[in-house]
Amino acid sequence: MVNTLVTPTRLAPLAATIALAVAFLAGCTTSTAPDGATPPPEARTLTVFAAASLTSAYEQLAEIFEEGHEGVTVSLNLGGSSGLVTQIQEGAPADVFASADEANMAKLVQAGLAAGEPRLFASNRLQIAVPVGSAAGVASLADLATPGIRLVICAPEVPCGAASVAVAELAGVTLIPVSEESAVTDVLGKVRSGEADAGLVYVTDVLGAAGEVEGIAFPEADAVVNHYPIVAVEGASQAELAEEFIALVLSERGQAILAEAGFGEPGA
């Protein structure tokens, strides 16, 4: 019985397809620069691990950095600070680490993974967030203790949760949450969708969700401030670029962008 797969009529189109594919791939390889021209800058990637609350500010800073450094791509890994520290400890390739509080930065330093001294670059305070047009009657921190109010806060294990607990203790208010989330973005999400009557989030989160949530400031927030430190990671593959990025964050331009996003002065 003739094997129909390898008869000439079947083989020719197959061979043609293979030949075309090879030619296509060959044509796709990067061409060498014409003689006499300077070679294109080496493509480098700077990996920045930053707290989730820094999302909008750092996206802007990343763009500025890429514009100022040809061939460099800034890869942002945004998430909960404690999760990021764990990732770096387990060997994730980070060049820069920006934390939402000093406790998590201390963990990195203790593990011997910080190249140099961490520097403070911003600060953040808590604010009460309520859905737009909410009729729940929340106007102060004390109102959050009213039974029947659906309050969502961060779990004490995460930075914003620790701050919430501290703030409540200072004010002598007993918070009765219906849910303790693992990330401040989850708290914000629940307030945004109207599933929660109130949530304790950062000032920057309220600004970032402008129009969808309303922020209510309270005096005790000034007493519990989260300081944001930044440091280059030990053993980073792009140590020089890391320092340059940190310089950008600490520069006037960087500080202006952070202030616009709602962050406070470093060390304030």
Partner 1 sequence: MTDRLGATQRARPTERARVTDRVRRADRALEYRGLPPWIWPVAAAGALLIVLPLAAMTLRVDWPGFWGLVTSEGALAALGLSLRTAVLSTLICIVLGVPMALVLARSRFPGQSLLRALVLLPLVLPPVVGGLALLYTLGRNGFIGQWLEAGGIQIVYTTTAVVLAQVFVSLPFLVLSVEGSLRVAGRGHEQIAATLGARPSRVLTHVTVPILLPALVTGAVLAFARALGEFGATLTVAGSLEGVTRTLPLQVYLVRETDPDQAVALSLVLVAVAIVIMLVAHRPTRWAGERL
Closest contact distance (angstroms) between CB of 153 and partner 1 is: 10
Of positions 45, 123, 146, 182, contacts partner 1 by CB under 8 A: 182
Of positions 194, 212, 215, 250, contacts partner 1 by CB under 8 A: 194
60-99: contacts with partner 1 (CB under 8 A): 80, 82-83, 85-86
Closest contact distance (angstroms) between CB of 128 and partner 1 is: 18
Q: Quick check: 199 binds partner 1 (CB under 8 A)?
A: no
Q: Which is nearer to partner 1, 60 or 179 (CB)?
A: 179
16-45: contacts with partner 1 (CB under 8 A): none
Residues binding partner 1: what is the number (CB under 8 A)? 20
Closest contact distance (angstroms) between CB of 81 and partner 1 is: 9
CA distances from 91 to 83, 94, 153, 180, 206 (A): 13, 9, 31, 30, 34
- Closest to 50 measured CA to CA, from 258, 265, 267, 268: 258
136-175: contacts with partner 1 (CB under 8 A): 150, 152, 155, 157-158
Q: Which is nearer to partner 1, 60 or 182 (CB)?
A: 182
Burial (CB < 10 A; 0-12, 13-18, 19+), residue 173, is middle
Six-digit token pair at 266?
């470093």
Of positions 179, 237, 251, 255, contacts partner 1 by CB under 8 A: 179
Q: Quick check: 181 binds partner 1 (CB under 8 A)?
A: yes
Chain positions contacting partner 1, by CB under 8 A: 80, 82-83, 85-86, 150, 152, 155, 157-158, 177-182, 190, 193-195
